[in-house]
Structure 1
Amino acid sequence: MAITSYLAREAGLYGTSNIEALKIDQIVQTREDLLTEEVKVWKEKDAAKNAEMTKNMDENVYPKILGKFEKLIKENQNKTGSKFSVGNQLTLADIILLEGTVTVSQKNPALLDKYPAVKGVASLAADLDGIKQYLAKRAKTDL
């Protein structure tokens, strides 16, 4: 994530203040927490354990983390009037939210319907030139 943060700063995708950078870091690091849990499920080969872990993801982990994202995004959008997750312009946080919702959108897309702000920011990032083309031709994976 250090390289990602560096590149985002170099590309002007790290907000316009230290507070915005802090909020971006909060989203990025919370995404890492989610990824840790997703990898545990992905690596579990025992079908019964995997089903139990998947149920926990859908009923507990995703709602907790997606709920945090939803709250942060709505707070920003209400404060700034923007469509982004942090500040008034595209940031690393928006791209991370797209990346961070790939697994749940593939495995349980209806779950994202409960988090319209998260879904909106992810869609916004998915429609960006470059990202849109990449998503259209990349290989699909389980994680």
Structure 2
Amino acid sequence: MIAPKLAQPTPAEEADAYEVATNRDSDTCQRCRRPCGPIARDHRKNRGQGGWTVPSNLQCLGLDCHTWKTEHPEQAVAEGWAVPGWTRADWREWPAARWVRTERGTLRKVWVLYDDEGSWQEIDETEARERMVSMGWKGAA
């Protein structure tokens, strides 16, 4: 069965999406949490591969981490920083990695599902890997 085609965001909706993602990620690189260059609003699934400019498909990455993601696409997918380009890989359901502060102030890497309102739902690593495999991922982190 072919799913109904969804309307792509307007330029104003795209601008809003960039702002939502920037606020959600505190304008900080989500991969390294350090100043690794100017912050880019990165498409987790590239636009050229069917990814849209909506908050659930955006994350903040510094220039160094964005370059790393581009140069290491398979590792970026395995570590949760990218969504692969194949059709079944839906950025709305593909787990993302991010660092969150614990009560003690340390950081821990978690797996999340982003929404388009600027929030996320944390999931455990087992569920993250199961979701990735169900959409065709064959690798291992």
Q: Name the structure with the higher helix share.
A: 1
Which structure features the higher share of strand residues? 2
- Rg comparison, structure with higher value: 1
Instruction: State the TM-score, normalized to the length of structure 1.
Output: 0.28
